[in-house]
Structure 1
């Protein structure tokens, strides 16, 4: 089922609701400047055998509203969007899976809305207050590695004007670097992904809105120690944005989190990693569901 969720003002989010409607909900939260179509269909299908799977396009991606220049927002607002999606679908609690920026948003939700989470899974991400989630202030931070210089150079071109063919080639090259250097890169596979993404959105430009969003409110890493929601951190050892030991550090600051490493994985959901990533998530959510009262996700609560 596809629908739209209306937020305050003139902003609406495109939402896809699929999988097992009789099973616990699982909300997928994608990374920066990426729509829900960045979750490969076969990956969503595998999760959908065990869950009701909900995904959505962030603001300024896909079929959701593109209006950052007229209505700017903060990264933290994107976390509240996830709550709005749950509210609109009548979901009281869900398993949350966040990749990259999505993992940062999941951490904010762990702190601000723990009652809405059955469990959390964070992959290819960093802890609040460090790396991509640093706020630029002078607070002391651990010495963790930054992104690959090749990515930094490519990101400088992110919002430069390009025609459709050049934009497609830029995106494929971006995925090539994100994929890391261990697992073979299938350029045709990622080109097809981006062609579907462009068709879904009805446009090929990239305003890089999330890169321009206000990062205030992300320096909250110290608060993660109080997280009690069952949390899984999936480590991608070849991740060129958040390389080791970012995942180990995140699991350590949460304290109660469990860490699983997917050998060879970079900052991309390439075909060889889909099965092990899905298996890790499903094992985590199955353990949580087995210990929870049946149907404890069905009573909707309204926060907005």
Structure 2
């Protein structure tokens, strides 16, 4: 099932891997990123025990690029995730979401708990207005929690000009270098090969910016997350530059029954060094 219709004029690319009779696991990637940004090593490790499904968001990869003609909201991307499950005939799935994908996973937990076996949230913020309570009892409003590291924000805001495919690969690798944090050695060649595969999959090297312009209203799910019965694992990355501490700790507080696991060297990028332990943590969660 390479493509599926999710809205008038909108088709998504999707694929599955692993035993057809294994418990389904849906991977939801972050903003402006193709589903092929999930590292092959991680997909293969999860597919040993799961029917793994990944897909390209709208305006990424081989899915329809139509935001300029058909603007949409981020909540529509959550509906797309449900449509992917429907297209594959999946009633309930384990869900793993990274960054924006972690927010979309929270929307599934809140709005469609009957479709979610478990959720694993990586590098994301809470869709909750509940303050964060520090170990010393200090309470902080979510809006006052630390923001994105300035050097990463600068890279995101920097205008992108077309200087050819090699220059675009250079730009993407430097962005990954910033996202990876400073605690693990950065493997530039590994990330360059990852982005080369993404570009080959997409068919062009044009970057996507649609999700940065999508309507962000209607995302809060404070009450729903506080009352959920869905088992949730929150990954706390020690070198996270986009949602630095205590975002993960806040997330684990506001989701009922959520469990926190820490990866001290991990940043916002899925660096090769953390793929094996990350897969083990996800598989332990889905098995439980």
TM-score range, shorter chain: over 0.9
1:156 matches 2:157: yes
1:211 matches 2:212: yes
Matches within 5 A, 1:80-95: 80-95=79-94
Alpha-carbon distance in structure 1 between the residues aligned to 2:71 and 2:87: 23
Comparing 165-174 with 154-163, which one deviates more in the overlay? Answer: 154-163
User: Closer, same or farther in 2 for the Cα pair 1:213/1:40, shift >3 Å?
Assistant: same
The match for 1:116 is: 115
Give the deviation of 1:78 after TM superposition: 0.3
User: Closer, same or farther in 2 for the Cα pair 1:185/1:228, shift >3 Å?
Assistant: same
User: Closer, same or farther in 2 for the Cα pair 1:208/1:159, shift >3 Å?
Assistant: farther
Give the SS at the match of 1:64: coil
Alpha-carbon distance in structure 1 between the residues aligned to 2:161 and 2:109: 35
Contact 1:225 1:253 in 2 (8 A): yes
Matches within 5 A, 1:48-59: 48-59=47-58
Alpha-carbon distance in structure 1 between the residues aligned to 2:155 and 2:17: 35
Query: TM-score of the superposition, structure 2-length normalised?
Result: 0.93
The match for 1:232 is: 233
Give the deviation of 1:59 after TM superposition: 0.5
The match for 1:280 is: 281
Q: Deviation string for 1:152-174 (max 9, x for gaps)?
A: 11111255444222211110000
The match for 2:260 is: 259
Unpaired stretches in structure 2, ≥5 consecutive residues = 130-140
Give the deviation of 1:255 after TM superposition: 2.8
The match for 2:65 is: 66
The match for 1:47 is: 46
The match for 1:141 is: 142
The match for 1:191 is: 192
Give the SS at the match of 1:242: coil
The match for 2:104 is: 105
Contact 2:229 2:256 in 1 (8 A): no
Q: Deviation string for 1:119-177 (max 9, x for gaps)?
A: 111011110157xxxxxxxxx63531100101111111255444222211110000000
Comparing 237-246 with 121-130, which one deviates more in the overlay? Answer: 121-130
Give the SS at the match of 1:259: strand
- Alignment root-mean-square deviation, CA: 1.3
The match for 1:18 is: 17
1:28 matches 2:51: no
Q: Deviation string for 1:4-50 (max 9, x for gaps)?
A: 11122110000011112111000000001111111111110100000
Unpaired stretches in structure 1, ≥5 consecutive residues = 131-139, 288-304
Alpha-carbon distance in structure 2 between the residues aligned to 1:160 and 1:246: 33
**How many residue pairs are counted as aligned between the two chains?**
277
Alpha-carbon distance in structure 1 between the residues aligned to 2:225 and 2:162: 40
Alpha-carbon distance in structure 2 between the residues aligned to 1:162 and 1:256: 49
Query: TM-score of the superposition, structure 1-length normalised?
Result: 0.88
Give the deviation of 1:253 after TM superposition: 0.5
Contact 2:60 2:208 in 1 (8 A): no
Give the deviation of 1:81 after TM superposition: 0.3
